Structure 1
Amino acid sequence: MTTRFFRLIACQLLLLFVCAQALAADGVDVTLARIEVTEEGYRLDARYAFDLNRDLEDAIQHGVSLYFTTEIELTRPRWWWTDEKAVSARQSQRIWYDVLLRQYHVSVVGSIKQNFATLDDALFNIRRPSRWLIAPRSGLKPGETYNVTLRMFMDRQFLQKPLQVNAFNNAGWQLGSAKKTFTYKAE
């Protein structure tokens, strides 16, 4: 009796582990994240790996705009108080399909759009965004070390209200990365 019980527990744990791996595979992986210094200031160079599931592809094909938001935060550790927040920035990209023109469009919110013939080409632009200015040169203190936290996710708050209800209750509409952390020494 106890052997059966332990086998049942082992099978359930294995099933739980496999399901957790399957859910993790549906997320966004941050494959590259680094900060570059330029004349204008500090820019984020990031690369992401993800695939859209069938629900999200169908939504785009039917003209629903999807938004992918990248959030970055740089904090300077202090031993005597809480960490000092030096930079907190956010950028959203929109992807949508124009049914009449049969083109995919991608734009950074508030910027010009780019047109693409295929969904893969449009997603490539979201997975490899242009280097984005996150702080001016005066925003960081040269020589100081900062803790960087970065994440990217499909921002469901931009969706139309009827779709938001479905998106918040449906696991297929919850696409995002875990927070990636690393240190950066300002130049």
Structure 2
Amino acid sequence: MDSSTACSKSVLDHLRRWLALLVFVPVLAWAAEIDITEPQLTPSDDGYVLSADFKFELTPRLEEAVTKGVVLYFVADFELTKGRWYWLDEKLVSRSQTYRLSYHALTRQYRLTTGGLHQSFPTLSEAMQVLSRLRNWTVIDKADKSVRPGEAYEASLRLRLDIAQLPRPFQISALGNKDWSLGSDWKMWPANLLPAVPPAEAK
């Protein structure tokens, strides 16, 4: 092998290592910054609801941004899968719920919005306390016939800051920037579903 060929191979190997590093940097930047504890699926009148706690704090940059009027969007993702020995696991349920955290300068109130529910708080810490507690989110509908109590399933949950919904200039700043990256790993646990709550009998 001549020197020019060896040099070219060395350059290509060096470039591959850098590309691999760039691919994994965004993942490493946010891994495990949000810790998920005590996830639980329980039966309800509508099917099955999910509750869990998220342990995390906003970075100083994110606190400054929301206080100056930048809206932060957090997304909770839930999946329910069933193992198959002959193929990949079967995904039975996939749900997402968005939380909108904002600050209104005129009222000096922080607002947390989930679907049609709007809550206002005098301080950011109070808004974060509510955001950190996921309660009674219906993730499996009663009418879903693909999920049957008594069978073995695996549930997965994560929470992430949705950078794609930031204003365009902030999206560019957030790329590969740990100050703007916030999320959890997938929290997985075996889901042993109890029978759903039967409808109340008419009196």
- TM (norm. structure 1) is 0.83
Contact 1:26 1:51 in 2 (8 A): no
Q: What residue number does 1:162 align with?
A: 169
**What's 1:66 paired with?**
72
| SS at 2:135 equivalent | coil
Q: Give the share of equivalent positions with the same residue, in percent.
A: 37
Change (3 A) 1:26 1:73: closer
In the TM superposition, 1:79-118 aligns within 5 A as: 79-108=85-114, 110-118=115-123
Structure 2 residue aligned with 1:134: 139
The structure having more radius of gyration, on CA atoms, is: 2
Q: Are 2:193 and 1:186 equivalent residues in the alignment?
A: yes
Q: What residue is the counterpart of 1:15 in the other structure?
A: none
Q: CA deviation at 1:79?
A: 1.6
Q: State how far apart, in whole Å, the 2-side matches of 1:141 and 1:84 are.
A: 14
Q: Which runs of 4+ in 1 moved over 6 A?
A: 23-26
User: How many angstroms apart in 2 are the aligned matches of 1:178 and 1:71?
Assistant: 11
CA RMSD of aligned residues (A): 1.6
Unaligned runs of 5+ in 2: 1-28, 195-203
Q: Give SS of 2:134's match.
A: coil
Q: Distance in 2 between matches of 1:168 and 1:94?
A: 21
Aligned partner of residue 169 in structure 1, secondary structure: coil
* Higher relative contact order (CA closer than 8 Å, sequence separation 6+): 2
Residue identity in the other structure for 1:180: K
Q: Quick one: which amino acid aligns to residue 122 of structure 2?
A: A
Structure 2 partner of 1:122:
127
- Contact 1:32 / 1:48 at 8 angstroms: preserved in 2? no
TM-score, L = length of structure 2: 0.76
SS at match of 2:188: strand
